[in-house]
Structure 1
Amino acid sequence: MPIQINLDNILANKDMKSKELAEIINLTEANLSILKSGKAKAVRFSTLEAICKALKCQPGDILEYID
């Protein structure tokens, strides 16, 4: 898939665990894992907004298009 998810890098830079982010954004760890691995078929804007708010980042920091 040409869309790369950079969530692991951002979490590492913020010194935050996936479990902590999942709790903050009210998402199961399993669903967050699916998103992080790039296996998700879609992401809701509300979820993306919650992630950006929790990590104080922009959507472009999380999602990257690679041709």
Structure 2
Amino acid sequence: MPPEEHQVRVHLDRLLAERGMTLSELAARVGVTVVNLSVLKNDRAKAIRFSTLTAICRELDCQPGDLLSVRTD
């Protein structure tokens, strides 16, 4: 695996669907752009601020482990 690649997967699609929420709604509630959430949702983010992670988890009523996982293959 090249050093720039990561194995963290984001399960934002599933959590949004389970809660009947759109990416735009979440972006407005969290205070980040739709573009930034889209980058995160599509596993293209290189990092996430703890404050953003906290806000997403608060709005989706979940824990970080519900949102993120590490691919093990």
Distance (Å, rounded) in 2 between the aligned partners of 1:47 and 1:64? 17
The correspondence for 2:63, drawn from 47, 58, 64, is 58
Residue ranges of structure 2 left out of the alignment (5+ in a row): 1-5
Where has structure 1 moved over 4 Å in runs of 4 or more?
none
State how many pairs are aligned: 67
The correspondence for 2:49, drawn from 24, 44, 47, is 44
TM-score by length of 1: 0.97
1:4 aligned counterpart, secondary structure? strand
Map Cα deviations across residues 48-67 of structure 1 (whole Å, 9 max, x no partner).
Answer: 00000000000000000111
Question: What percentage of residue pairs aligned between the two structures are identical?
Answer: 48
Question: If you compute each CA radius of gyration, which structure gives the higher value, 1 or 2?
Answer: 2
TM-score by length of 2: 0.89
